[in-house]
Amino acid sequence: METEPNIAGTVFAGCKIIDKIGQGGMGSVYKAHHEALDKYVCVKLLAPELAREQRNIEFFLREARSAAKLEHPNIVHVYNFGQENNAYFIVMSYVEGKSLQDLVNEKGALPIGQAAEIMTGVLHGLSHAHSKSVIHRDIKPANILVGTDNVPRIVDFGLARSISEEKQLTMAGEMVGTAYFMSPEQGLAGKVDARADLYAAGATFYYILTGKYPFDGKSSIEVIHKHIGEPVPNIMLINPDVPLWASRVIDQLMRKKPEDRYQSAAEVIEVFTKHVGEDTNTVPVSAESTFDIPEVTARLQAAQRPQASLESSAPKPPEQQAQTQRAAPPPPPPPNAPPQMFPGAKPALQLAALHNGLKIAVHFALTMAGTAAFVLAGASGTATGVLASPFVSNPVTAGFLAGAGAALYGWALWQKPYKFTMAYTFCAMAAAAAAYSGGAYLPAAPGADIVAKGMLAVQLGFSNMFSPANLIVYSLFFYLAASKVVFKGWGFKAGAAAAYLAGLGFTYLYFKAGADVTPEKIWLSVGGLLALVGLVASLTQKSFSLFFSPQLFFLAANLAMFAMFTNPQVEAITAQKEQAEAAAAQQTNRANLAAWQQEMLAAQAEVAYDDEGRPLQPHLPARPAEVLPQARGKLQNAARLEYYKALSARISGALAGSAGIIFIAFFLALLANAYFIEELVESFRQQELF
């Protein structure tokens, strides 16, 4: 490694080097005195070993050209650049202060007021740079200098480029930037615009409010992959003092897709200004939103008037009278004092939680009522088990009830934050179809009216709630519910694992009930092994994986339980068919042999002569071929089809007789409610509470 020479006293472009103040990736930074301007400046020199490659020189000079385009108080000013004394240099303004990285290293997480003020200045600088079509591409705390005047200044435009720049100094597919603050499109070496700088600004804001990187890992590749694929951690769980609006800003700045972020620095500045104000040192920042309720405000003012009257009527010394003429703000409450709240006033978060709670209750009522309406629509027919019967025999009632059910589900859909999602739509449509079918298959007496059928549905539902005939319904419900929450927190993971095992147990009990055959142990072992692997996957996996998915493993385990009881019964039916086929073939062969023997006797008894009177040999019939029974494979396929038809009839009959289909409908409606709650929480987390 080359020893860096001491260049103190050397002059570059009229700047006398004083001493070294920093070291960057491209070279060293020195404090110098600009003799013509009579002021201190910084001189950045390209490292000699890097100057041997033209590409590094172009990178270095591009920083100078990019920064020289910009004139803004939040961006370091470039006075001069070029080559002198066999070295490439950049002369820029000198900032007395520290980098934002050094401030966090020394003080830890910054208070929200100071952090917001710094980021507002950074965003003003970025807005100016973007207006000049310059993208920085490496915004991070180390590239933000905070002067003693607390004014932030952006430095190091070495990776910056012009949007209209034709010649790209980076190779195709090359990633540029710092992994901890790199946008997903930079990590994918995709097209980069101003919104990549906004993403990095969001990551920087996160870092200075917590002292932690948004994503960390053992390598840069791991960190980049997290930026690309993992959601941003909730900053309020790391630093509860961060206000809700700041969490929303970070969340929107760090969206994975550029089109989902703020589209300009000006938009973010507007949010900061709205919540913090122009002077963040005097304007308090609260984690709660403020609501002006006129009635409460009037009562508070009325309560304060008597106290003000008492204070004004008391005699005061002359010096105090002079002081009262100056309007002084009331002292702030003690840091640990509980917030003063007028009875009946609610914090914004409590009001929002109450509002969302009412939404959930309304959505639940609408989906349950809609499902019940579809049950009654299916029950309005005269023929049990015929799906078209309601609209053939009683079209007005069936149409009205089906329309009411559809309207109720439409109303529930209108309550959703996201108006169309595939999972919710599937659950809602499947619930409606199952409810209609359950009503049509109700085993009601002939001539029963719709009211009687509705009461019968309720009676069957309660009486058969724990019937063995509905075990398969509970198995399905537990599987769907577990698959819905298996990738969430540890509490959900434990519940999902228990639900998976419970559903598997119900599958075993359902097919074992009434079975007069011995289940195959090999399939029992396979099902147990699949369940064990699925249990491990459900507790370890954080997202869906095609090769290690708890849903797939437990689905395969349930199929193994099904095969464990199905195969023996299919084999029994196949054996019966083989016996029947063998007996039929034997009987056919006997009949063919007897007929052939009779033909032989008749042929031998008949004597024929030629023209000369000589006897001819009789024409004997050929022996018939032996009829063989059908191949075992064909018989096994026929047996399996026969078993499946019988099983289908058994399941549908049991579900119809025990209102199991109606159970499925309401379970699907519950699942739709779970999707609704999830969407509502996600929407509440992402929306801007301005």
Which residue has better confidence, 355 or 61?
Answer: 61
Which residue has better confidence, 659 or 620?
Answer: 620
Task: Please report whether residue 53 resides in a domain.
Answer: yes
Which residue has better confidence, 463 or 282?
Answer: 463
At residue 175 the predicted structure's pLDDT band, cuts being 50, 70 and 90, is: very low
311 C-beta neighbours (distance < 10 Å), count: 10
At residue 654 the predicted structure's pLDDT band, cuts being 50, 70 and 90, is: low
CATH number of the CATH domain containing 250: 1.10.510.10
At residue 541 the predicted structure's pLDDT band, cuts being 50, 70 and 90, is: confident
Residues 45 and 29 reside in one and the same domain: yes
Q: What mean pLDDT is predicted for residues 613-642?
A: 84
- The answer to whether the CB of 215 falls within 8 A of the CB of 200 is no
Active site residue 197: no
3-class SS of residue 17: strand
CA 210 to chain centre: 24
Q: Which domain holds residue 377?
A: 370-465+658-690
- Provide the mean pLDDT of the chain: 78
* pLDDT for residue 218: 84
Task: Please report whether residue 40 resides in a domain.
Answer: yes
* pLDDT for residue 324: 41
Residues 127 and 228 reside in one and the same domain: yes
Closest CA to 213 of 135, 158, 262, 140: 140
In 396-455 the beta strands, taken as DSSP E runs, fall at none
Residues 135 and 270 reside in one and the same domain: yes
3-class SS of residue 109: coil
Of 67, 93, 119, the one marking the end of a domain is 93
At residue 530 the predicted structure's pLDDT band, cuts being 50, 70 and 90, is: very high
pLDDT of residue 367 exceeding 90, the answer is: yes
Residues 118 and 193 reside in one and the same domain: yes
Stated length of the chain: 690
Residues 126 and 266 reside in one and the same domain: yes
Q: Are strands 97-99 and 15-23 parallel, antiparallel or unpaired?
A: unpaired
Residues 485 and 452 reside in one and the same domain: no
Report d(CA 503, CA 251) in Å as an integer.
38
Read off the tokens for 166: 């034709």
Task: Please report whether residue 311 resides in a domain.
Answer: no
Highest mean pLDDT out of 158-162, 577-581, 608-612 = 577-581
From the candidates 19, 38, 138, 149, give the one annotated as an active-site residue.
Answer: 138
pLDDT of residue 465 exceeding 70, the answer is: no
Read off the tokens for 327: 């309007």
Q: Which amino acid is at 296?
A: V
**Helix (DSSP H) and strand (DSSP E) numbers for the chain:** 22, 13
Which residue has better confidence, 243 or 302?
Answer: 243
Q: What mean pLDDT is predicted for residues 221-241?
A: 87
Q: What mean pLDDT is predicted for residues 355-362?
A: 84
Residues 79 and 124 reside in one and the same domain: no
Beta-ladder partners of 162: 134
* pLDDT for residue 122: 93
Distances (CA, A) of 302 to 117, 305, 308: 37, 5, 10
Task: Please report whether residue 515 resides in a domain.
Answer: yes
Report d(CA 282, CA 498) in Å as an integer.
54
Report d(CA 192, CA 130) in Å as an integer.
12
Beta-ladder partners of 16: 11, 33
Residues 116 and 205 reside in one and the same domain: yes
End-to-end CA distance of the chain: 56
Q: Which amino acid is at 15?
A: C
At residue 406 the predicted structure's pLDDT band, cuts being 50, 70 and 90, is: very high
pLDDT tens-digit map of 479-511: 888 888 888 888 888 998 999 999 898 888 888
Q: What mean pLDDT is predicted for residues 376-386?
A: 85
Task: Please report whether residue 326 resides in a domain.
Answer: no
- The answer to whether the CB of 257 falls within 8 A of the CB of 242 is no
Residues 453 and 486 reside in one and the same domain: no
Closest CA to 271 of 293, 248, 289, 242: 248
Residues 102 and 62 reside in one and the same domain: no
pLDDT tens-digit map of 188-225: 877 888 899 999 999 999 999 999 999 988 888 888 88
Task: Please report whether residue 612 resides in a domain.
Answer: no
Runs of H (alpha helix) within 163-229:
184-187, 194-210, 220-229
At residue 348 the predicted structure's pLDDT band, cuts being 50, 70 and 90, is: very low
Of 226, 259, 276, the one marking the end of a domain is 276
Q: Which residue has the tokens 């063995």?
A: 468
Beta-ladder partners of 134: 162
Report d(CA 138, CA 241) in Å as an integer.
28
As a whole number of angstroms, the longest Cα–Cα distance in the chain is 170
pLDDT tens-digit map of 107-137: 899 999 889 999 999 999 999 989 888 888 8
CATH number of the CATH domain containing 66: 3.30.200.20
Containing 254, the helix (H) or strand (E) segment is none
* pLDDT for residue 404: 94
* pLDDT for residue 368: 92
Q: Which residue has the tokens 């000589």?
A: 614
Least confident of 202-206, 343-347, 388-392, 594-598: 343-347
* pLDDT for residue 664: 83
Q: Which residue has the tokens 């703020």?
A: 262
Of 249, 276, 303, the one marking the end of a domain is 276
Q: What mean pLDDT is predicted for residues 550-565?
A: 89
Residues 124 and 253 reside in one and the same domain: yes
Residues 243 and 377 reside in one and the same domain: no
Closest CA to 41 of 49, 31, 51: 31
Q: What mean pLDDT is predicted for residues 462-476?
A: 73
In 24-111 the beta strands, taken as DSSP E runs, fall at 27-34, 39-46, 78-84, 87-93, 97-99
pLDDT of residue 328 exceeding 60, the answer is: no
Which residue has better confidence, 1 or 464?
Answer: 464
Task: Please report whether residue 475 resides in a domain.
Answer: yes
180 φ, ψ to 5°? Answer: -65, -20
622: exposed, middle or buried (C-beta count within 10 Å: 0-12, 13-18, 19+)?
A: exposed
* pLDDT for residue 606: 77
Report d(CA 27, CA 29) in Å as an integer.
7
Report d(CA 253, CA 478) in Å as an integer.
38
Closest CA to 644 of 578, 567, 579: 567
At residue 315 the predicted structure's pLDDT band, cuts being 50, 70 and 90, is: very low
* pLDDT for residue 515: 63
Least confident of 201-205, 607-611, 675-679: 607-611
At residue 685 the predicted structure's pLDDT band, cuts being 50, 70 and 90, is: low
pLDDT of residue 392 exceeding 70, the answer is: yes
Task: Work out how many domains the chain is built from and give that number.
Answer: 4
For the entire predicted model, the pTM comes to 0.42
Task: Please report whether residue 625 resides in a domain.
Answer: no
Q: Are strands 15-23 and 615-616 parallel, antiparallel or unpaired?
A: unpaired
* Category of 289 on φ-ψ map: left (φ > 0), alpha (ψ -120 to 50) or beta: beta
* pLDDT for residue 686: 55
Report d(CA 416, CA 166) in Å as an integer.
47
438: exposed, middle or buried (C-beta count within 10 Å: 0-12, 13-18, 19+)?
A: buried
- The answer to whether the CB of 571 falls within 8 A of the CB of 580 is no
